[in-house]
Amino acid sequence: MNKWLVDALRCPYCFGEFKVLHGNSSQDKESYAVLECDCEQYPVVEDILVIRKGVIGNHGESSKTVSHLILSGKNQEALLSLVMPPTPAGRDLAPAWVQRLPQVRGMDRVKNLLGNVARPWWARSMRDFFAAGPEGRTATDYIEAALGAKRQYKHYHYFMNRFGQPRHLVALSLMAPIQSPAGPVLDFGCGFGHLTRHLVRRAGRQPVVGADRDFTRLYVAKHFFAPEASYVCCDGSTSFPFVDHFFSVVYSSDTLYMVPNKVVCSREFRRIVDRNGLIIIAGIHNGLVDAENYVSQRMPYSSYGLLLGSWSHRMITNRDVLDRYGEKCGPDLSRSSTTMALNQDPWFSIVATNHEGLLVDQGSFDDWPHAEGIPDLNPLYKPATSNEKGDICYRHTFPSSWYEKEDGGCRQYEPEEVWIASEVLYDLSLRKRTPAMEDLIAHCVIVGMPERFHNHAHSCPK
């Protein structure tokens, strides 16, 4: 547990400082502890600080329950209480052959009956999986365990195929102003850490803190995407557990528009960032467009500007950012997008600061931001055919109709089909980037991935 981070934390309910308590277990003593203030005890599990009150586990476990487990030396039980996914509905646990049967009258009842029989097996398999730990596993294994149930496929496909999404490229582009920050960087709503790993590179010697209300996503981020960062599990609709002006940069992507109390969240952004720091809010849904599919996120772009008070800011549509990204350039922050563009684009972003010198044209990239990491094929590309030389034709495939609706804009720069030479596939299998890959990288056919996202086996020619 990082002492510098504990010293920067305050209870979001009583603003009290924390005293660190350790359990009676000799194992994982540094990774498991309890933070105690005047009003509550908060668990530290796998070095992730959980600063939330009430129910924090998917099966009703409270912060007090998990803290008691740690103080009793039951560290593995504490971990399992936070990472075990919600029990799927019975129909979602029915065998695959039943799922393929025609949907006739009474079929839902059959699926529920068979699925309920499978529930004890499901619980045992999940418990065994998470108890075994991340050694020898990949991020894909954990995302499938956490989000693989049918009712969560929308989120599953979003995270599994994020590397070339339009919103992902926009989020990467908006990191351009982060250069040699004077203090720590916060990634609020970091999820599984897809963007946190890029922030670590841009923060230089400064620490990066990932924050999210979902413990399992932080656990995956810590072990697979950005192990160099520190993590805090907290809520965006209450006061944040950080002292004033602690961060030089507050970064958040695809999060603020889903936070119920946007006034509190945006106020806290301004409180915890340095007076000359940056607030970058990427991926905000514009309530003026496609409101019927975002019933709880109907705020128009103009209302978000009011949340920033007197801070100078720019509002930029995703289209404006992507147009420049395609030219290998960062966003032009010298001005906001036009009113016409903001009225029509379903997604936009905000960059805010009290330091006007940061709101300038960010110029060109030295390298594609999405290429950072291990070069590998974009997961949306599936092998279709091959020739006698070992070259393979890959076809761009959307995993679901929802994904195509949300992120179908990627087809503007990702070709429908592409032939990849056997030599390139061989170099990919060695995780080596070569000049022959540059055009494929420019079109997001090849992207940079974390070291242990999956086993990379599909990159090898057969």
What are residue 314's DSSP bridge partners?
351
* DSSP annotation of 300: -
Strands annotated E in 269-391: 273-285, 312-317, 347-353, 374-377, 381-386
Quick one: CA dihedral 447, 324, 184, 308, positive or negative? Answer: negative
Residue 137 gets the label, from left (phi > 0), alpha (psi -120 to 50) or beta, of beta
pLDDT in the model for residue 247? 98
Residue range 252-265: mean pLDDT, rounded: 94
Domain positions in the chain are 3-83, 166-358, 373-459
Q: How many CA atoms lie within 13 A of 317 on its CB side?
A: 17
310, 312, 251, 248: which is closest to 277 by C-alpha? 248
303, 314, 190: which is closest to 255 by C-alpha? 190
Residue 405 neighbours by CB under 8 Å, 6+ apart: none
Of all helices (H) and strands (E), which one includes residue 306? helix 301-306
CA 37 to chain centroid: 30
User: Whole-angstrom Cα distance, residue 134 to residue 141?
Assistant: 9
Among 11-25, 30-44, 95-109, 279-293, the range scoring the smallest mean pLDDT is 95-109
Residue 259 neighbours by CB under 8 Å, 6+ apart: 189, 236, 237, 265
Residue range 407-434: mean pLDDT, rounded: 96
Is the model's pLDDT at 460 over the cut of 70? no
User: Whole-angstrom Cα distance, residue 455 to residue 247?
Assistant: 36
For residue range 64-101, list pLDDT tens digits in order.
999 999 999 999 999 999 999 988 877 777 777 777 77
Among 258-267, 294-303, 354-363, the range scoring the smallest mean pLDDT is 294-303
Q: Residue 423: how many CB atoms within 10 A of its CB?
A: 14
For residue range 329-382, list pLDDT tens digits in order.
999 999 999 999 999 999 999 999 998 889 999 999 999 999 999 999 999 999
pLDDT in the model for residue 116? 82
User: Whole-angstrom Cα distance, residue 163 to residue 370?
Assistant: 7
Is the model's pLDDT at 383 over the cut of 50? yes
User: Whole-angstrom Cα distance, residue 85 to residue 160?
Assistant: 17
pLDDT in the model for residue 296? 63
Strands annotated E in 144-190: 185-188
Strands 446-449 and 374-377: antiparallel
Strands annotated E in 159-300: 185-188, 208-212, 230-233, 247-253, 273-285
CA 119 to chain centroid: 29
Q: Which amino acid is at 411?
A: R
User: Whole-angstrom Cα distance, residue 425 to residue 421?
Assistant: 6
Is the model's pLDDT at 387 over the cut of 60? yes
pLDDT band at 456 (very low <50, low <70, confident <90, very high): low
Packing angle, helices 153-160 and 139-147, rounded to 10: 160
- % of the chain with per-residue pLDDT over 90: 80
Q: Which amino acid is at 433?
A: R
Strands annotated E in 116-194: 185-188
| Residue 461 · residue 422 · CB < 8 Å | yes
pLDDT in the model for residue 94? 75
Q: Per CATH, the architecture of 166-358 is what?
A: 3-Layer(aba) Sandwich (3.40)
Residue range 217-223: mean pLDDT, rounded: 98
Residue 10, φ and ψ in degrees, nearest 5: -140, 150
Strands annotated E in 83-142: none
pLDDT in the model for residue 29? 67
User: Whole-angstrom Cα distance, residue 219 to residue 240?
Assistant: 20
Averaged pLDDT score across all residues of the chain: 92
For residue range 112-134, list pLDDT tens digits in order.
887 788 788 889 999 999 999 99
122 by DSSP, 3-state: which?
Answer: helix
What are residue 273's DSSP bridge partners?
247
What are residue 420's DSSP bridge partners?
392
Is the model's pLDDT at 462 over the cut of 90? no
